[in-house]
Structure 1
Amino acid sequence: MNPLDILQSFGGVARTSALLDAGISRRELRRFPSSVRQPKRGVYAAEGCHPGYFKAIMANAVLTCASAAEEYGLWLRMSPAVPHLAANHGHEPSSAVRHRGLRFPAQARLPIASLADTVIHALICLPASQSVPIATSALARGLSAEQIEHELRARRLGPALKAFRLVNTLVESEPEAEAWVILLALARRLGVSVVAQAMIPGLGRVDFLVAGWLIVEIDGVAFHSSRDSVRRDRARDNTASLLGYARLRYVPEVVWREPDRLASEVEAVLTGRLRVPKN
């Protein structure tokens, strides 16, 4: 692999020490083409390099929280407007969300926090509607729930621990994870049960079963993509009604953009009254 390809394998930006460890000689560093610049001593950046990696390395930091979640491919509804950076020093740039307390080794080649630190910072920084899906998908990737709970308890991060305990590893998508947070809060307030991925005899698995008789489904991206899927959904709706279940269906956009509508409509069915969400 030639030196430029090695640099590109780091996302187009890397420290001198990392490039030397990767097998590039100091003579080869001096022969990089003009498209590779040195924005500061000890850093090489190719044209079009990864902007998040560049900002992290320039700040002697690593990506974390929502920024690292995106790199890991965790459940994240949208990219963060500014990078989330973490370091054990106080010199991160003002145009970033700053995090402290890196407790685990970052990735070896790329400026990305460990999966554990990424989740912990998300639980501290983001609302539950965003941090719970991140944590849920991280646990599905093999992250230890006991490890995260231990760290949160040891650091006395009560609000973050409270959010982490909302995680339900049975949910199967980002919008389902957000819907779970909404439905769980509603169910607790009304004193009823809510079960994710409930199995109903004669019907099959449903996304959520509230109070034992209200089915709430979150349709996927490919919802109603064919006549066969429409027929299957209608048949399931009819079967649910014949079995005595009420049913509500929502597309992900309702979960993301109108969470109050979802909560008020579910409550309306459960209680027989509609609470109109405030504008």
Structure 2
Amino acid sequence: MDLLQTLAAFGGIATRHQLLANGHSGGDLTTAVQRGTVRRVRQGFYVRLDASTDAVAAVRLGGRLAGPSAASVHGIWTGYDRRLHVSVARNASRLRQAHQVAQGLTGAPGSADASVVVHWTDTEPQQLDEPCWRSPVVLCLRQMVAWCDEVTAVACVDTALQASLISMEELTAGLEGHGPRVRSVLRLCRPGSDSGIESIVRQALAARGVEVEQQVSVTSVGPSDMRLRGRRGQALRVLVELDGFAFHSRRDAFDRDRRKDAEAASAGYTTLRFSADQVERDLGGLVDTIVRVRDAHDAGMDESLFLKRARFRTTLPSLARIRTDLPE
């Protein structure tokens, strides 16, 4: 494996120690830097020319991507905070200013102080085989729980569980001993949410006493995000679909959604479809709508059950009649 391939395996950035451990010599590194195929952005840190700008910024600051910024590269929910979060060891030398790095790398002149958040933290030793520029999954989740509001933290953990990036057992072990807030978040977490907005809606519905099943297959097109349960716990024929704009704006995804809704309708299901923008702008109104639909279907089931029982009572022969009809 050549130097560029090794760097790619580490996500585009690696330490000198990591590169030497993978068979590259100090001469190889010097030659690559001189030829311009590799950059050295900090003492002992080498990057590919196509390395992530945010990752390079974190390394130049003397740390690594953390919290929401690390969650983003792991493919889990980040919340709505788009700032660059970097964790730096408490005992590290403060050689660079966040706004200098931001102006040089993130393209945010004039607002750079607000675009980069540096967390001086107690960091865990870096493993030789893990990328040096981002927090590993367990540490990232621990940071999300500590730095974010509870709803965002739960949504982040939910999506990590659903993506099988971590098991509940590993999560519990990794967060154990980090305070009562962690225990509160862990009680609310569960797999089933493919996206953060699904978790946010699930949490909001749970707060209103609405139970849901997640990733329920009722059509051949694919699983639905949620199916509502009634107040007595019975499964209702009501589905909730939550669309992220990036995916569902494509024509093939648009057509797939309509085919899915039609197939669900032919099976007797009502589909409530909401966008990620609606979740962000009017979560309360969205939940109100779902609750009203749940209550209406509950009432319909109650009425249907009452009519069935009434018909059964009017057609059931009396015990006296049955007795008179018995042969002697």
Tell whether the structures are fold-level matches, with TM greater than 0.5.
Answer: yes
Instruction: Measure, in 2, the Cα distance between the counterparts of 1:137 and 1:254.
Output: 20
Q: 1:43 to 1:180 in 2, by over 3 A?
A: same
For residues 235-279 of structure 1, give each alpha carbon's deviation from its aligned partner in whole angstroms, at most 9, with x where no partner exists. 24xx247xxxxx64423332233212212323455679xxxxxxx
Q: Distance in 2 between the 1:137 and 1:16 partners?
A: 34
Shift of 1:152: 4.2
Which residue of 2 is the match for residue 86 of structure 1? Answer: 87
Greater percentage in helix: 2
Q: Which residue of 2 aligns with 1:169?
A: 191
What secondary structure is seen at the aligned counterpart in 2 of 1:85?
strand
Counterpart of 1:51?
53
The equivalent residue for 2:227 is 208
Cα deviation, residue 147, structure 1: 4.2
Kindly indicate whether residue 178 of structure 2 is the aligned counterpart of residue 159 of structure 1: no
CA distance in 2 between counterparts of 1:106 and 1:17 reads: 11
Question: What is the match of residue 74 of structure 2?
Answer: 72
CA distance in 2, matches of 1:255, 1:86: 30
In the alignment, the residues of structure 2 paired with residue 219 and residue 173 of structure 1 have an alpha-carbon distance, to the nearest angstrom, of 9
Match of 2:36 among 30, 34, 37: 34
State the number of aligned residues. Answer: 256
1:101 and 1:208 mapped to 2: Cα distance? 43
**What secondary structure does 1:225 align onto?**
helix
**CA 1:75–1:200: 2 relative to 1, 3 Å:** closer
In structure 1, what is the equivalent of residue 141 of structure 2? 119
What is the rounded CA distance, in whole Å, between the counterparts of 2:3 and 2:225 in structure 1?
53
From 52, 62, 65, the equivalent of 1:63 is: 65
Following superposition, the deviation at residue 10 of structure 1 comes to: 3.4
Q: How does 1:1-279 map to 2 (within 5 A)?
A: 1-32=1-32, 33-76=35-78, 81-89=82-90, 91=92, 94=98, 95-98=116-119, 100-102=121-123, 108-111=129-132, 112-140=134-162, 141=164, 143-150=166-173, 152-156=175-179, 158-187=180-209, 193-197=210-214, 207-210=226-229, 211=231, 212=233, 215-220=238-243, 221=248, 222=253, 224-225=255-256, 228-236=259-267, 239-240=268-269, 248-269=272-293
Give ranges in structure 1 of 5+ residues lacking alignment. Answer: 188-192, 242-246, 273-279
Give the TM-score normalised by the residue count of structure 2.
0.64
Residue identity (%): 20
Q: Distance in 2 between matches of 1:217 and 1:41?
A: 52
Q: Which structure has the greater CA radius of gyration?
A: 2
Alpha carbons of 1:270 and 1:171: their partners in 2 closer, same or farther (altered >3 Å)?
same
Residue 35 and residue 152 in structure 1: after superposition, are their counterparts in 2 closer, same or farther (change >3 A)? closer
Alignment partners' CA distance in 2, 1:6 and 1:162: 41
CA contact (8 A) 1:123 1:163 kept: yes
TM-score calculated relative to the size of structure 1: 0.73
Counterpart residue type for residue 84 of structure 1:
H
Q: Secondary structure at the match of 2:228?
A: strand
CA contact (8 A) 1:123 1:131 kept: yes
Pairwise CA distance, 1:183:
0.7
